[in-house]
Amino acid sequence: MGMTTQCFTNAEQQTRVILAVQSAQRFTSCVSGNYETEVTLFALQADLIHNLGESIGTTLAKAEEIGAQGNVEESLKLMQEVEELKKKKAAAEVRK
């Protein structure tokens, strides 16, 4: 049960990072010639995509483990989190 809360917290933090990156990208588009900022934003976004991928893998493994123990309801909740994380990752990849 603690894993579910932690994954949700990670997803919330990652969503905040996505929003911050988008905001920074909008600002960067207004300021021409700021290469360092663009490189930093790209690195942040790459890290976000990587972290989302790790969260997907960790949450999926936990869902499989819990499901194998017979706790189907908790496993399904984790699988819903996996789907949400996949959507966030796909959205972050599109913005890259």
Over residues 31-71, the pLDDT tens digits come to 555 667 777 788 888 989 999 999 999 999 999 999 999 99
Contact 3, 62 (CB under 8 A): yes
Domain that holds residue 31: 2-95
- pLDDT of residue 1 exceeding 50: no
What CATH number is associated with residue 19? Answer: 1.10.132
Q: What pLDDT is stored for residue 66 in this prediction?
A: 96
Question: What single-letter DSSP state applies at residue 55?
Answer: H
Domain count of the fold of the chain: 1
- pLDDT band, residue 30 (cuts 50/70/90): low
Q: Spell out the alpha helix ranges (H) of the chain.
A: 2-30, 35-68, 72-95
Question: What single-letter DSSP state applies at residue 69?
Answer: T
